[in-house]
Structure 1
């Protein structure tokens, strides 16, 4: 079994694969600071609740966009799981060629999603991840990550509304019954959801046009991705576990290859 971990700005998502099958997944908040012992105790508890023995875990793969979490989390994995994890970063074999101006600026989450989409669905493919930020990454038929778009996520936009205005309340993020809203909460919901749908469709169409690739497949993922994917024909596939699948693919690509970058010598090679 392989343990994969996606450290995002809002949540840490854990997944356990048995071969190609995702057996289980679970989450904890990433904004709350924990010691390595706290991470370890929570992880062992959640593994146990999901019927997974730590002794069956053969290796660990982590992608993180929250550097301050990593020291405690990696130490927890080593101490409580007994494995030294691979970490997505320099020295990791991906099969994707990043051709933007500064490849080092690309977040590990974008790399993982790109690998998963290209390996599973083929190229050309456009990955749309509805996370804390909404990201758009096109991959061509040669497996090249050649551009990207980053926009505020739905939750960030909602938070800006109720924190930046005196009279607008905190609301549930859902599609209202009609865009012709008649009271404050549904007015806000209409603006957030229909605004995101419109933005999504426009950006997807412009990326296809600029790439001269009208038939590019579009794969969406992320927490609120289903809500948007259900409302637009521009998204072909919604895959909620795309990132976890990408981490599993990357583990398989790297388990026999020790990363060359010394920064990862002590943390990337499973025992």
Structure 2
């Protein structure tokens, strides 16, 4: 079994995989950005106890720099008897990152791009989290992408910059043209973000120069209906990032066998 852990800016997603990529269970917790002593040890210990069979490897992505060392020490302490790896460009020695500085690529972008290798190529991945990220990949080539403000942060930024506006609940209105101010703001944020993703994917596909498979993932992707996603030419994959971590760990275990 392989345990994958994605430590994001908002949430931590852990998935336990069995044979043939079967997902045994998954958990989602709020990221502990100011952890108390031992909190991450307890987090990993709880997940280790939850596993009914022996874990053969743990693959982690962490995009929160100031807690990276805390997470690393905690994971290596709890799983001291098995391989623990953290995803970066050095972990993926078969991945051609075509950026001026490949080290700038976040572990989350690497993981979703690696997971996308299971699809017909080339692929555009739209990952809607704290930031909305679109990346273009083809086989083992990472072309690059786009990073913009995430949907949740868009709502927060609007409230902070215009104080007389209330905090906006992130609920997708049934129609684009709404009947009140709150609905209009929700429509602008949510449908506006979706429209941006679709148009940016069109522009990226034109630059790539061939039709691209389009994958939508990330926590905020759940705001959109299956019909909306499919009409825009995307396929939804909730666990694309975790699948990518799983594939990398499988490769490392095989390489070191």
The alignment's TM-score, normalised by the length of structure 1, stands at 0.86
Deviations 1:162-208 (A, max 9, x none): 12112211122121132222222211111111211211111011111
Aligned to 2:15: 15
- Out of 54, 69, 72, the residue aligned to residue 71 of structure 1 is 69
Deviations 1:78-129 (A, max 9, x none): 22233451111243135331112221211111111101001x1131111110
Evaluate the alpha carbon distance shift between residue 129 and residue 143 of structure 1 in structure 2; reply closer, same or farther with a 3 A threshold: same
Q: Is the 8 A contact 1:94 1:253 kept in 2?
A: no
Q: Is the 8 A contact 1:135 1:151 kept in 2?
A: yes
The alignment's TM-score, normalised by the length of structure 2, stands at 0.90
Shift of 1:257: 4.1
> Secondary structure in 2 aligned to 1:33?
coil
Distance 1:67 1:234 in 2: 34
Aligned to 2:153: 156
- Identify unmatched segments of 5+ residues in structure 1: 259-269
Aligned to 2:116: 117
Q: Is the 8 A contact 1:77 1:84 kept in 2?
A: no
Aligned to 2:88: 89
Q: Is the 8 A contact 1:129 1:135 kept in 2?
A: yes
> Secondary structure in 2 aligned to 1:16?
strand
How big is the alpha-carbon RMSD for the aligned residues of Structure 1 and Structure 2?
2.1
Distance 2:32 2:159 in 1: 20
Q: Which moved more, 1:30-39 or 1:59-68?
A: 30-39
Q: Is the 8 A contact 1:14 1:26 kept in 2?
A: yes
> Secondary structure in 2 aligned to 1:243?
helix
